[in-house]
Amino acid sequence: MQRRPAIDRLLRGISTDKIETVRDAWRELIGEGASSAQLIQEKLNTSAWLDAPRGPASRYFGVLLALLDEVDPAAFEKEVDRLRASRLHPLHRQTLELMAKRIGEVPAMHLAGGIPVFVASDIADRATLIADMQRWSQTRGVSLAHITRIDVIGREQGAGYLGKYNRFFSGIVLTWPSGPSRGIRRWWRRLGGEFTFYHEIGHHTAGHIEAGQVDTQEQEADDYARRMMANARPVLTSVVRALIWPFRPLLRRLAAAGARP
């Protein structure tokens, strides 16, 4: 049986919610570079986007644009210009304008393996955050293989998450307070950001496909983050362990009580 082209497997994976299929096809297309850019442009150059999106097709357009941007930013910019001049359905046009904001984006830095990191301009003390992330990425045991990009965005008031792992495309989104901080609050913010960074990498390393939705996977990601924190901050970790050691029996009882239906 002949294997489907990666671009077709990608779209089929989206339509059937097969995360592993999408992830593998995405990585294959990025690895193919310019040749995959032409295939993506062929998929975008159809009349399908003139009509109202239906079913899984509502997700195809944005995914194809995002992939083209990853594979060939110059081709992505030209494709945005071409699509703007076409008679797109209003919903697809909204998607296009949202994706067009990527044009001109410049990574704040690249981590090991060339992973681009984009930091929103409204983040306070960007220089310190960038230096911190560079250090976190070099922690012994951290595995960044196959992560496609990391975005740091402003944390809106009352936002329900500190970080997210994009299970389809192996990307990470971290949120960060926009306002400045000082003293112990600043130290605590940076410590929390470091733990979240490791936590989301933990989801990626473990191959989780339901990150944030399954308690056992959250525990695995937390365990990974704790190991990385111990590698990065051995003295602090030892002090914290020493402080909570006398309370371990109580903590175990509380955890057991919370797990009962």
Task: Note the pLDDT tens digit of each residue in 36-93.
Answer: 999 999 999 999 899 888 877 778 898 999 999 988 999 999 999 999 999 999 999 9
Global confidence as pTM: 0.74
Q: Which of 56, 81, 100 is the last residue of a domain?
A: 100
- Asked whether residue 253 is domain-assigned, the answer is no
Burial of 109 (0-12, 13-18, 19+ CB in 10 A): middle
Structure tokens at 59: 């997700």
- Asked whether residue 236 is domain-assigned, the answer is yes
- Asked whether residue 261 is domain-assigned, the answer is no
H/E element, 159: none
Q: Which of 100, 123, 156 is the last residue of a domain?
A: 100
Cα–Cα separations (whole angstroms), residue 115 to 70, 112, 146, 159, 200: 11, 6, 9, 26, 15
89 and 154, same domain (yes or no): no
Measure the CA–CA gap between 146 and 170, rounded to whole angstroms: 7
Assign residue 229 the CATH number of its domain: 1.10.390.10
Burial of 208 (0-12, 13-18, 19+ CB in 10 A): buried
- Asked whether residue 259 is domain-assigned, the answer is no
140 and 187, same domain (yes or no): yes
Q: What is the pLDDT of residue 258?
A: 41
Q: What is the pLDDT of residue 85?
A: 94
Range of the domain at 50: 6-100
Taking alpha carbons only, the member of 242, 206, 246, 241 closest to residue 222 is 206
Burial of 163 (0-12, 13-18, 19+ CB in 10 A): buried
23 and 152, same domain (yes or no): no
238 and 174, same domain (yes or no): yes
Measure the CA–CA gap between 84 and 87, rounded to whole angstroms: 8
54 and 35, same domain (yes or no): yes
146 and 219, same domain (yes or no): yes
Cα–Cα separations (whole angstroms), residue 153 to 15, 86, 122, 162, 189: 29, 31, 8, 10, 15
- Asked whether residue 154 is domain-assigned, the answer is yes
Following CA atoms 184, 185, 190, 191 in sequence, which dihedral angle do they give, to the nearest 10 degrees?
Answer: 70
25 and 95, same domain (yes or no): yes
Structure tokens at 57: 């097709």
81 and 29, same domain (yes or no): yes
232 and 210, same domain (yes or no): yes
237 and 119, same domain (yes or no): yes
Measure the CA–CA gap between 138 and 118, rounded to whole angstroms: 18
- Asked whether residue 255 is domain-assigned, the answer is no
- Asked whether residue 13 is domain-assigned, the answer is yes
- Residue range 198-247, pLDDT digits in tens: 999 999 998 887 655 688 899 999 999 999 999 998 877 776 666 655 65
Structure tokens at 213: 């939705």
Measure the CA–CA gap between 78 and 182, rounded to whole angstroms: 44
End-to-end CA distance of the chain: 49
Q: Which of 81, 100, 119 is the last residue of a domain?
A: 100
- Residue range 95-114, pLDDT digits in tens: 999 889 888 888 999 998 78
- Asked whether residue 260 is domain-assigned, the answer is no
51 and 145, same domain (yes or no): no
pLDDT over 70, % of the chain: 85
**How many beta carbons lie within 10 A of that of residue 191, not counting itself?**
14
Highest-confidence segment of 131-145, 175-189, 201-215: 131-145
82 and 115, same domain (yes or no): no
Measure the CA–CA gap between 149 and 212, rounded to whole angstroms: 19
Q: At what angle do helices 57-71 and 6-16 cross, to 10 degrees?
A: 140
Number of domains in the chain: 2
